[in-house]
Structure 1
Amino acid sequence: MSHLTTHVLDAATGRPATGVGITLARVADSGEVTPIAEGVTDTDGRLALGPDRLEDGVHTLTFATGAYFAAREVETFYPAAIVTFTVAGDGHLHVPLLLSPFAYSTYRGS
């Protein structure tokens, strides 16, 4: 299993957000951002990304929300939702996204 998983729920429809492009990246102390992995959510809105173990430090998940809503002909305020988080240790990381056209929220899942 990947060290990191995510799940995207479209709160406007109450259904999993299928086909959301997501990029996982590492943020160096200098601020340089290096992509690590990318993928697209499955029919249940889920995606496992990255290696078995992420390096400790700051990472980002960039959710391509603009493309997701454009494909559904839905106006949105956010072209992307970027979640920045810190990796420390070996525990599994789950970073879900609750999405609507004009708002989003996230939390550290289990």
Structure 2
Amino acid sequence: MGFLTTHVLDTMNGCPAAGMRVALYRIDGDLPTLLREVALDADGRAGGPLLEGGAFHAGRYRLAFEVGAYFRARGIALPEPAFLDRVPLDFGIADASSHYHVPLLASPWSYSTYRGS
């Protein structure tokens, strides 16, 4: 059985993004349905799979990372509106028997992602 995980690294401070809020949505047509919200642990991880077992299906999904709120909570003065606030990542799961890992590297001004292992 496959599963979905995420991990966020704060590239401004060179550390895991502990406490960042992340929401997971399934997207059917144009309608996103909230499946789960988490705060990342001290290692910048969700503390386990975000989706697994019978709930893990092929389809379109979105992870929404609260980057602006995270950096504000760390005391970073951001302009209003912030350049990056909520970062949505839309991705597809084609093989529900695989592990999908969606990491995010983030600063207040940039981000990157990839399919990790």
TM over 0.5: yes
Question: 2:2, 2:93 → 1: CA distance?
Answer: 13
Deviates more, 1:14-23 or 1:52-61: 52-61
Name structure 1 gaps, 5 residues minimum.
Answer: none
Question: 2:22, 2:91 → 1: CA distance?
Answer: 15
**Identical-residue share of aligned pairs (%):** 44
1:98 aligned partner: 105
Moved over 6 A (4+): none
1:42 aligned partner: 41
Alignment deviations for residues 26-78 of structure 1 (CA, whole Å, 9 cap, x no partner): 1112x011011111110000113123342211100000111101111212411
TM-score for both structures, normalised by structure 2: 0.86
Question: 1:2, 1:73 → 2: CA distance?
Answer: 38
TM-score for both structures, normalised by structure 1: 0.92
Partner of 1:19: helix, strand, or coil? coil
Name structure 2 gaps, 5 residues minimum.
Answer: none
